[in-house]
Amino acid sequence: MSNSRAPQRVAIAGLGAIGAAIARELDGSLDGLTLTAVASGSPEKHRDFLASLRAPPLVVPIDQLHDHADLVIEAAPAKLLRAIVEPFVSNGKSAIVLSAAALLQHEDLIDIAKAKGGQIIVPTGALIGLDAVTAAAVGTIHSVRMITRKPAVGLRGAPFIVDNGIDIDNLREPLKLFYGSAREAGKGFPANLNVAVALSLAGIGPDRTMVEIWADPTVTRNTHRIEVDADSARFSVTIENIPSDNPRTGLITPLSVIALLRKQGTALRVGT
């Protein structure tokens, strides 16, 4: 018996390294999903890419995406989070959010989603072990700590570094830049710490999740180590992510979204 359900219409906001990779995967290869619309700050830049797709989507302004899709994937600059997500959740639709750090500046979107029957989904992204933290949070988590080490190129321009006049371009040894809560880390490093905020949302919240950030000339990959102490388990996880074309983002991030999309409507679903 064939599945007669209508395909779920998907929109992508942002066509950088992440958005483009997801668009390619959605172009006819994910059952039950169809890419219907995209939005970009520079649509002309992506004209050839979109034309190369087997079923090119509509290109529309961000505030019109919700008219053409049931689900939006936010892969745009963090400052656009609200403009992308609010129209979807206000209409009982879903939004996959990659700018998790910006979500802390717009926590009322969660209340809107709850009131209107919408859903905000934060994918695993660069952080393996998130399922374990989610499970541990059903019980009691005593502490969560995350240590992030990145090459300097992946940290350049972060507000915390700019505001404090820190020179990270001539480092010869690792430099500890920050220690504090995930909430404060998200403010100081909004393009770098989406993983920390996702971790905090899965566990004990952004004010109790502690974060260390290092600029490290000895590493070539974005490295995250999480340490969790809970009543059900004590565990640590380390992941070294290969940077994408955008040095602030790991290659595994778009793959995580694709894996999440593939779970939609599958007969077997593995993972929380």
> Could you report the per-residue pLDDT of 169-218, keeping only the tens digit for each?
889 999 999 999 999 998 899 877 888 888 999 999 999 999 999 999 99
| Cα 13 to Cα 193: distance, rounded to the nearest angstrom | 20
Residue 43 is given by DSSP the state G
Higher pLDDT, 104 or 128: 104
Q: Please tell me the predicted confidence (pLDDT) of residue 264.
A: 76
CATH architecture of 130-247: 2-Layer Sandwich (3.30)
102 known ligand binder: no
- Confidence label for 121 from pLDDT (cuts 50, 70 and 90): very high
Catalytic center residues: 224
- The whole-number pLDDT of residue 2 equals 41
Q: What percent of the chain has pLDDT over 70?
A: 93
32: region left, alpha or beta (phi > 0 left; psi from -120 to 50 alpha)? left
- According to the model, what pLDDT value does residue 129 have? 76
Residue 250 pLDDT grade (very low, low, confident, very high; cuts 50, 70, 90)? low
Rounded to the nearest integer, the mean pLDDT of the chain is 89
Is 194 annotated as contributing to ligand binding? yes
CB 33 within 8 A of CB 10: yes
Q: What residue ranges of the chain are covered by domains with CATH 3.30.360.10?
A: 130-247
So what CATH class is 8-126+253-262?
Answer: alpha beta
pLDDT, residue 272, reads 59
pTM: 0.86
Q: What pLDDT is recorded for position 1? A: 38
- CATH 3.40.50.720 domain extents, the chain: 8-126+253-262
CB distance 206 to 186 below 8 Å:
yes
Close Cβ partners of 210 (under 8 Å, ≥ 6 residues apart): 143, 144, 145, 146, 179, 180, 181, 182
Quick one: pLDDT band at residue 35, thresholds 50, 70, 90?
very high
